[in-house]
């Protein structure tokens, strides 16, 4: 697992995800967007400004299937997210809200690919905030690290 922090104009994004620094060149990767609408619980104040987002994606299930177009691996996972924000109130207190939601996608596998490991990473996040509602698009990257690309 790696940890990265990115300062944005409005908030700090901290990701706890797989290290992509040493991915072999034969790795098979796919990026995709996961859109999610989040609601701050009614008992909490409205959002004035985000302070920090802590986000952790994990793969929870995998399945290799054979289709007419070739072998594919279906990946399922979940994202745990904690949002820190400044309340839109005179006190401007710092509040938090926690969420967990799922994602799924697939990667087409070249013939005879044996899977060594699967890695997932948050590439970036785009947010739109309206009082107690957060619309977000998370750019995720899934990578298959093969044991060896061709097995004779």
CB 31 within 8 A of CB 110: no
Q: Is residue 42 situated within a structural domain?
A: yes
> Is residue 152 included in any domain, yes or no?
no
First-to-final CA distance of the chain:
32
- Which range marks the domain in which residue 31 is found? 2-146
pLDDT at position 84 is: 96
Residue 71 lies in a domain: yes
Reading the chain (152 residues) residue by residue, the pLDDT tens digits are 555 555 455 788 999 988 888 899 899 999 999 999 999 999 999 999 999 999 999 999 999 999 999 999 999 999 999 999 999 999 989 999 999 999 999 999 998 899 999 999 999 999 999 989 999 999 999 999 998 644 44
Closest CA to 92 of 136, 51, 41, 38: 51
Q: Establish if 100 belongs to a structural domain.
A: yes
61 found inside a domain: yes
User: For the chain, how many structural domains are there in total?
Assistant: 1
How far is 28 from 40, CA to CA, in rounded Å?
Answer: 37
- Is residue 113 within 8 Å of 145, Cβ to Cβ? no
Say if 112 falls within a structural domain: yes
Single pTM value for the model: 0.86
* Amino acid 18: pLDDT: 87
Question: How high is the pLDDT of residue 7?
Answer: 47
Q: Round to whole Å and give the CA distance between 140 and 152.
A: 33
**85 within domain boundaries:** yes
Is 110 inside any structural domain? yes
């Amino acid at each position: 697992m790696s940890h990265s922090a990115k300062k944005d104009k409005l908030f700090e994004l901290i990701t706890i995800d797989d290290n992509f620094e040493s991915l072999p060149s034969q790795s098979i990767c796919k990026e995709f967007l996961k859109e999610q609408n989040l609601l701050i619980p009614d008992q909490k104040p409205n959002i004035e400004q985000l302070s920090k987002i802590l986000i952790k994606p994990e793969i929870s299930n995998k399945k290799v299937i054979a289709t007419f177009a070739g072998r594919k691996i279906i990946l399922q996972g979940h994202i745990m997210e904690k949002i820190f924000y400044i309340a839109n109130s005179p006190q401007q207190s710092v509040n938090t809200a926690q969420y967990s939601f799922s994602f799924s996608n697939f990667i087409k596998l070249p013939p005879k690919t044996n899977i060594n490991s699967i890695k997932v990473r948050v590439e970036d996040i785009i947010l739109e905030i309206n009082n107690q509602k957060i619309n977000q698009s998370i750019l995720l990257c899934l990578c298959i690290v093969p044991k060896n690309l061709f097995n004779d």
